[in-house]
Amino acid sequence: MNRLMTFLFSSAVLMVGCKKTDDRMTAMLFESKLKEASQTAHRLMQQKHVKSGRIGEAMTAEETASFMTQTEAVQIVQPLIEPSAAFLQTNYDINIYNYFPAGSPNIARIGALAMRLNQLEMQGKSIDTSNFNNWFVPQIEVVDQANGEILSYVQPSLKDCALEALGVPAAVLVGSEKSLTRAAILKAAIRLLSITVSWVAQAIAIYDFGSCMDWW
């Protein structure tokens, strides 16, 4: 009887432990969700381009956005919101709902940013946050963003296509810690609080992000 009780107790502990692990949003699992969303956006854009007869033509960001309705954008972005919140909580102990209401499309963009920063962190890199007031500003409003000012005092450094796709034109620096990544994510959340971004703009950011990540 004692052996049976011990076995049942051990099994219960293992089941609870497994459930707790399953509830965690790992970087690999979250990346797969981002990849799926960006590929959905890519298929949509391809279909729209073919129908328009503009396949292969260079288009502005505004023209690209015109190929997507808000309903389509919601279908791309909304499935990323809860996984983004889970990823931020699991990996950086950030409750994003302290910044944005449940269902906010901004959460998906912060989640994608956190995932890319996590990748850079694993490579021993971080980003320069000194110029974060220019993050998430529409490109048509950015004045000479790439003039090298940020890069002038830090070497070696480079720009990251995936970060820029999300609206973060920051230099990537050698040397990183998890605390630096967390601080950058929080700065991004605070900055995004002051900016109104449409569902379509969020979906286009995920689409461009996927392109930079070579997901198709």
Binned average pLDDT, 10 residues per bin, the chain of 216 residues? 49 43 79 98 88 66 77 97 98 97 97 97 93 80 41 54 95 88 97 93 95 95
pLDDT (0 to 100) of residue 175: 83
pLDDT (0 to 100) of residue 62: 66
Question: Is 52 domain-assigned?
Answer: yes
Which tokens in the block code for residue 198? 């449409």
Q: Which of 149, 192, 188, 151 is nearest to 173 (CA)?
A: 151
- For 2, half-sphere exposure in the C-beta direction (CA atoms, 13 angstrom radius) is 0
The C-alpha R_g of the chain, in whole angstroms, comes to 20
Strand segments (E) across 45-105: none
Question: Is 81 domain-assigned?
Answer: yes
In whole angstroms, what separates CA 193 from the centre of its chain?
16
pLDDT (0 to 100) of residue 168: 96
Question: Is 2 domain-assigned?
Answer: no
Q: Which helix (H) or strand (E) holds 19?
A: helix 2-22
Question: Is 17 domain-assigned?
Answer: no
Question: Is 1 domain-assigned?
Answer: no
pLDDT (0 to 100) of residue 59: 59
The CA distances from residue 182 to 89, 93, 115, 149, in Å, are 11, 9, 11, 24
**How far is it, in rounded angstroms, from Cα 73 to Cα 88?**
22
CB atoms inside a 10 Å sphere around CB 99:
18
pLDDT (0 to 100) of residue 143: 39
Question: Is 11 domain-assigned?
Answer: no
**How far is it, in rounded angstroms, from Cα 111 to Cα 96?**
9
**Domain range enclosing 74:** 31-212
Q: Which of 82, 71, 62 is nearest to 44 (CA)?
A: 71
Q: How many domains, in total, are found in the chain?
A: 1
- The pairing of beta strand 125-127 with beta strand 171-174: antiparallel
Question: Is 3 domain-assigned?
Answer: no
Cross-strand partners of 158: 172
**How far is it, in rounded angstroms, from Cα 73 to Cα 144?**
29
Question: Is 14 domain-assigned?
Answer: no
Tell me if 128 sits within 8 A of 157, measured CB to CB.
Answer: yes
CB atoms inside a 10 Å sphere around CB 10:
10
Q: Which of 62, 66, 73, 40 is nearest to 51 (CA)?
A: 66
